[in-house]
Structure 1
């Protein structure tokens, strides 16, 4: 998996590009939540579920269906005053959907693990993308603060940080031009 920092930066970038004119702190925190919560599935190891089980790591919580359900739920719970099929309502839903799904996309370009269950519960296969430059992050906070963790941060600064900052700068320039 990519680190929590990489997932959070991707979600933040998606939120800024969406240009939703609502409370930016609330929106950013909810987007970051959506992007990092799929890894809560590691708790399933404690209940005896194997990695490859549909509820195992990179299983259902990394699926497209989960991203849809989470996006719908977050949108419904935290933005009750926004009309569902208004422009803002639709953009909110898709922004939460993309932030959640960004987690799975980043995990699918890491160099470790057993793939991502994009289509669970309909199909239990695990997938990687053919290009896998991101170093897999160590599991557990204690393991993260190590030489391996430092290499992951450096790697993500290049493969996630530079593209995210580039998108943010281009978005800023584009919005200034069209004003």
Structure 2
């Protein structure tokens, strides 16, 4: 994916988490959950380290697994009280944001699949339906194919963008 969808999901989760909170908390929540939704793609560093795409720690490998999402969620659960947030709620939303990455990547029409069950299995999976075009990696993203992928993702994730960015109703002021 081109990350447009991942950011949209992260922003929607952040909006949900913030609820009717202040704009500052809303912005921070949307930023943090978007970062969590993008976190699995930190594995692109494997290309620079010479780790093959198909290796367990290659792209769409271990960091795209449900186990990795659970580990990150556990960390978020531990950090939440320091930020005066509900530990369970924060942990579950972090799990949703990170796990969504691998699940969404399995909906693409290219690559080697996603190691969703790592460390229990190195097998890579695709969803039965793959409606999203796979994004080119690196500078190839700045091509007509990359622009096409961004447009498709923007349209596909429009409901998430709408939820995240739709203006909030102002609370009624008391006299």
TM-score, normalised with respect to structure 1: 0.82
Confirm whether residue 10 of structure 1 aligns to residue 9 of structure 2: yes
Say what the alpha-carbon RMSD is for the aligned residues: 2.4
Q: 1:100 aligns with which of 94, 98, 101?
A: 98
User: How many correspondences in the alignment?
Assistant: 166
Alpha-carbon distance between aligned partners in 2 of 1:29 and 1:169, rounded to the nearest angstrom: 13
Asked if the contact 2:116–2:125 (Cα under 8 Å) also holds between the matched residues in 1, the reply is: yes
Alpha-carbon distance between aligned partners in 1 of 2:83 and 2:17, rounded to the nearest angstrom: 19
- What residue in structure 2 maps to residue 129 of structure 1? 127
Task: Specify every segment of 5 or more residues in structure 1 that has no aligned partner in the other structure, as ranges.
Answer: none
Q: 2:45 aligns with which of 43, 46, 49?
A: 43
Asked if the contact 2:64–2:115 (Cα under 8 Å) also holds between the matched residues in 1, the reply is: yes
Alpha-carbon distance between aligned partners in 1 of 2:106 and 2:162, rounded to the nearest angstrom: 22
Q: 1:148 aligns with which of 145, 152, 159?
A: 145
Alpha-carbon distance between aligned partners in 2 of 1:74 and 1:160, rounded to the nearest angstrom: 25
- SS of corresponding position for 2:103: helix
| Bigger mean CA deviation after superposition, 11-20 or 39-48 | 11-20
Q: 2:160 aligns with which of 143, 159, 164?
A: 164
Alpha-carbon distance between aligned partners in 1 of 2:3 and 2:164, rounded to the nearest angstrom: 19
Alpha-carbon distance between aligned partners in 2 of 1:119 and 1:158, rounded to the nearest angstrom: 29
- What residue in structure 2 maps to residue 25 of structure 1? 27
Q: How much does 1:155 deviate?
A: 0.8
In structure 2, do the counterparts of structure 1 residues 115 and 76 end up closer, same or farther at CA, with 3 Å as the change threshold? same
- SS of corresponding position for 1:120: coil
Task: Specify every segment of 5 or more residues in structure 2 that has no aligned partner in the other structure, as ranges.
Answer: none
Alpha-carbon distance between aligned partners in 2 of 1:28 and 1:167, rounded to the nearest angstrom: 12
Q: 1:66 aligns with which of 65, 68, 73?
A: 68
